[in-house]
Amino acid sequence: MDRISLSNSAFEGDNNAYLFADGTETVLIDTGDGTATTREQLEDALAERGLAFADVDRIFLTHWHGDHTGLAGAIQAESGAEVYVHEADAPLVEGDEDAWAAMYDRQEEYFERWGMPEEKRAVLRERMADAETGAASPTVETFAGGETFPVPGGELEVVHASGHAAGLCMFETTLEGRREVVSGDALLPVYTPNVGGADVRVDRPLERYLRALQGIVDADYDRAWPGHRDPIDDPAGRAQYIIDHHAERAWRVLDALDRKGPCDTWTVSADLFGDLEGIHVLHGPGESYAHLEHLERAGTVVREDAEYRLADGVAEVLAAKDEQRWHLEY
């Protein structure tokens, strides 16, 4: 497997595409975004290896976000490559108008529920419109998780890891006798992947993501190859760190409610993250909502219309804690 680094100035650092090739077959995991700059980078990287878009036989996508899928349609147009993605994300990757309309409608419903000011909604709509690159959408084939696909040098086993996106999948493989995983945005080396805002279709996003992280801990992979930045040499340790991070964030959410009294998601988000710009206008309240929703189902907070408050007795438990961490069941 060969990692190809591709620029990305908007999200979690440079994207990665992963290449499997043996002279008879060429396979990619993810393609980077659909910008002209990224296309040139990927074409140059393939050319250095004696390959071109026309040589790509199959593409596996970790999830639907445009910085991972952007060039899949262009590659398919030149090579006829088969493009695979999880069934939950397939309609978005294919550019299905009804699926995208439903996504945008659901976002607007959440903007209202979260209490997002109209001027921030306008900024976010403009940001999302600017992100549209006009990239061609591929025709896709789907998997559901658990399937195994042969690739040059070995095989890929699909591991569904929902949370950041409904259809986010990792690809487990063996490299030089080591059990490794291409983790997409389920596990990143620097940032903690957003939950709640990155894909508003996900039901119980924090619970699902914590379970995915626990799966990485239990698997104890030798190495993870993330969707952005450098390889992770201790995937279990990194996954546990993010689980602990969310326990700390849950404490901060409860502390905000304790200090401010009943308030909406936008107010909690402002307390956690301050004033937000660009795509973070979606991610901040989305992650706050994911925590509030999780805590509501646990009975720790109570929602009344759009506002949340601490359940009876929680303030006292919070005050008695020696550490700023709230255990999350998942």
Could you give all domains of the chain from N- to C-terminal order, each with its CATH number? 2-96+133-239 (3.60.15.10)
| Ranges in the chain, pLDDT < 70 | 9-12, 130-134
- What is the three-class DSSP state of 2? strand
Asked if 172 and 178 count as a contact pair (C-beta separation under 8 A), the reply is no
Residue with tokens 């074409």: 43
| Residues whose CB is less than 8 angstroms from the CB of residue 301 and which lie 6 or more positions away in sequence, other chains included | 254, 257, 292, 295, 308, 309, 310, 311, 314
Which pLDDT belongs to residue 132?
65
Which pLDDT belongs to residue 161?
98
Which pLDDT belongs to residue 131?
66
| Residues whose CB is less than 8 angstroms from the CB of residue 70 and which lie 6 or more positions away in sequence, other chains included | 31, 32, 33, 34, 35, 38, 133, 135
Which pLDDT belongs to residue 101?
95
Q: Please, what's the b/e burial string for 282-313 (b: 16 or more CB within 10 A of its CB; e: otherwise)?
A: bbbbbbbbbbbbbbeebebbbbeeeebbbbee
Q: How far apart are CA 98 and CA 92, in angstroms?
A: 9
Which pLDDT belongs to residue 133?
61
Asked if 103 and 179 count as a contact pair (C-beta separation under 8 A), the reply is no
Which pLDDT belongs to residue 308?
98
Written as one letter, the residue type at 308 is Y
Q: What is the pTM of this model?
A: 0.96
Which pLDDT belongs to residue 129?
77
Which pLDDT belongs to residue 304?
97
Which pLDDT belongs to residue 128?
79
Asked if 208 and 161 count as a contact pair (C-beta separation under 8 A), the reply is no
Asked if 294 and 204 count as a contact pair (C-beta separation under 8 A), the reply is yes
Tokens representing 210 are 């914590």
